[in-house]
Amino acid sequence: MTNDPNPPEGWWYNTRTGQVEHGDVGKAIDRLGPYPDRESAERALQTARERTEAEDKRDRDWS
């Protein structure tokens, strides 16, 4: 966990802190991503929820 002034590409959503991060800030276990931009990372929980619902529907349809 560093405060790199030139972080790698990608934005992350930290599930422990509820904050958006850019670069290697929080522990990997606590992060969702990477996302291409800050706005996408801010919607990480909504995106995860939508993906889960879509997969649950696929499972129901398959059964």
Domain enclosing residue 21, as ranges: 11-62
Is position 6 within any domain? no
Mean pLDDT of 50-54: 97
Contacts of 54 (CB under 8 A, 6+ apart): none
Angle ∠(59,12,56) on CA atoms, nearest 5: 10
- What is the number of structural domains in the chain? 1
Note whether residue 57 is domain-resident.
Answer: yes
pLDDT of residue 5: 60
**pLDDT given for residue 7 in this prediction:** 56
At 24 the pLDDT is 75
1 is a domain residue? no
Residue 2 lies in a domain: no
At 1-51, the pLDDT tens digits run 556 565 567 899 999 999 999 987 889 999 999 999 999 999 999 999 999
pLDDT of residue 63: 81
**Is there a domain that residue 25 lies in?**
yes
Alpha-carbon separation of residue 7 from 11, 40, 53, 56 (angstroms): 10, 17, 33, 35
**Global model pTM greater than 0.85:** no
